[in-house]
Structure 1
């Protein structure tokens, strides 16, 4: 059976990463000896779908490969970084999405672990917290999981509803907040009067 039109050969694409023509994109954080490839025609949509040349990348293993190369610079730009090349990609919102949550323990002894759309598992802890941040797409406060190296995974609605069921209240700097306990730390989602908003 032949490949679907939306499939892209992973090895071929990776080998050709350096053939992209640099645009006017500014240089990222130090490239070392890597070849600067400018803007790549790769986009991650707001729902976490990866696109190459406006075509969805349907192979999970390919998405996982590129996800493992993803870096964030100090200006909030996303880059694919290989040992020899570096190029910038477009990310509409967060590069990853949280697709499931695992819960162990309860109350202040609770530990939350998130599974992402690229099959990473991240434990919610002070170094990888849950945060509320403004979505660049909607302009509204949105829950995200920090998964390391400054990268974020957007928490989808169904998972967020599960988290709300686990929520508790705590006093944070004199304000009663609604949020979640994990790994011995409290992660506020919002003031108690807006927790259900």
Structure 2
């Protein structure tokens, strides 16, 4: 079957729900059917056979059936599982709403497929540093084992909200959300 046929077949297998949440992809264990030419770029753009998928409803539909198995990203339905490439993360956090302040602060992210994520124990914020350049790459958990890259402008908002806190004898700058403190950078000397 061609890649185009695989994508159309995959779409036809997505169960039609009542809009009551995401499909239970964690329960589905069909046979692996190989990789398809689908890629999610760093900026959150989905590509199929080298062409951007321009229809947001289609991207949103595909985003409901993505799962991470180890280091691999797959699109999965009850009867088929196919591999896709993800450059950095399958989602991008593109907006931030801040409610409250201090330890009572709540950070609400919106990602590129209109999911809302409230950072907290279940949906932590983390920052990876490039070992050579020390450039930060911030993420927020969106679903089990799936993250959103925090867009640069949103990360600047987090930096503006950062407060110092001592963690294990080291001073960090970080943000509070839902009663959790998330370190984002060591405090400069």
- Short-chain TM bin: 0.7 to 0.9
CA distance in 2, matches of 1:114, 1:30: 27
8 A Cα contact 2:94 2:109, kept in partner? yes
The match for 2:83 is: 88
Q: CA shift at 1:37, angstroms? A: 1.6
Q: CA shift at 1:156, angstroms? A: 0.8
Structure 1's 53 and 153: CA in aligned 2 closer, same or farther, altered over 3 A?
same
The match for 2:72 is: 77
Q: Deviations over 1:20-42 (max 9, x none)?
A: xxxxxxxxx9963x242200110
Matching of residue 184 in structure 1 with residue 163 in structure 2: no
Structure 1: give runs of 5+ residues left out of the alignment: 1-9, 18-28
| Number of positions where the alignment pairs a residue of Structure 1 with one of Structure 2 | 170
Cα RMSD after superposing both structures? 2.4
Q: CA shift at 1:84, angstroms? A: 1.1
8 A Cα contact 2:13 2:79, kept in partner? no
Structure 2: give runs of 5+ residues left out of the alignment: 1-6, 15-25
Q: Does the residue aligned with 2:138 lie in a helix, a strand or coil? A: strand
CA distance in 1, matches of 2:169, 2:118: 28
The match for 2:58 is: 62
Higher relative contact order (CA 8 A, sep 6+): 2
Match of 1:14 among 7, 11, 15: 11
CA distance in 2, matches of 1:59, 1:108: 40
TM-score, length basis structure 2? 0.82
Match of 2:102 among 107, 121, 130: 107
CA distance in 2, matches of 1:102, 1:84: 39
The match for 1:44 is: 40
TM-score, length basis structure 1? 0.79
Q: CA shift at 1:146, angstroms? A: 1.0
